[in-house]
Chains A and B, each alone.
Chain A
Amino acid sequence: GAVVSQHPSWVICKSGTSVKIECRSLDFQATTMFWYRQFPKQSLMLMATSNEGSKATYEQGVEKDKFLINHASLTLSTLTVTSAHPEDSSFYICSVHPGLAGVNTGELFFGEGSRLTVL
């Protein structure tokens, strides 16, 4: 399966600061990546689709100015939580879908996740 790496794995920041989370596809070029948010003991909630070379597509209810997504290369997407507040504290996970690159698979592969704590 695809190898996806996230960095940092955890971050603590003060309220009002911005935090950047990186998602890298290590073994194939991903034109599309996905970003999720997960609260404790809950399922994954899709936030946005990161598109290489174009604007991200956000799910309903997700503030695009709050969660900035940049997909500048075929192997890297970044999620920046701007002016973070305690309610933004969560577990953020990215994923890639090799099938979208033409590979015959319907599977989705996830990064290790990034735990954000805003004080």
Chain B
Amino acid sequence: GQQLNQSPQSMFIQEGEDVSMNCTSSSIFNTWLWYKQDPGEGPVLLIALYKAGELTSNGRLTAQFGITRKDSFLNISASIPSDVGIYFCAGRGMYSGGGADGLTFGKGTHLIIQP
């Protein structure tokens, strides 16, 4: 089945620093989704990517769909305390794979910001 590696697993940064995380897949994806989950809440969609090479921004967040279709990254610029949370990538395979919802989820990146 499809495998999705998300890194880093956790990040401890200072407020104001930039953040970068990525996901790589063992197979080709045609959709990449990035979610943020706050403690005790459900995941909230941040950015959706549909084309190889696509670069999309949402405020201080920028995500790109890798040219090979097997990877994606999410950058956060000038981090602030409310950026704390868990960030998940999720991919939809080109042909099949993933769960019945069609998605394969990364294990998440825990972002912790020190004031």
Contacts and interface: CB of A to CB of B under 8 A. Distances in A.
Q: Do A and B truly interact?
A: yes
Interface of A: 1, 4, 6, 9-10, 34, 41-44, 46, 48-49, 57, 59, 91, 93, 95, 97, 105-113, 115
Contact of B45 (A49, A93, A107): A107
A93 B43 contact: yes
A108 B44 contact: no
Chain B contact-residue range equals 20 to 34
Contacts of B30: 106
Contact of A43 (B31, B33, B50, B88): B88
Given A112-B41, A113-B40, 5 more contacts: A43-B106, A48-B100, A59-B99, A105-B48, A110-B44
A44 B33 contact: no
B105 interface: yes
Nearest to A99: B102
B43 A110 contact: yes
A57 B99 CA distance: 11
A62 to B, nearest CB: 11
A108 B107 contact: no
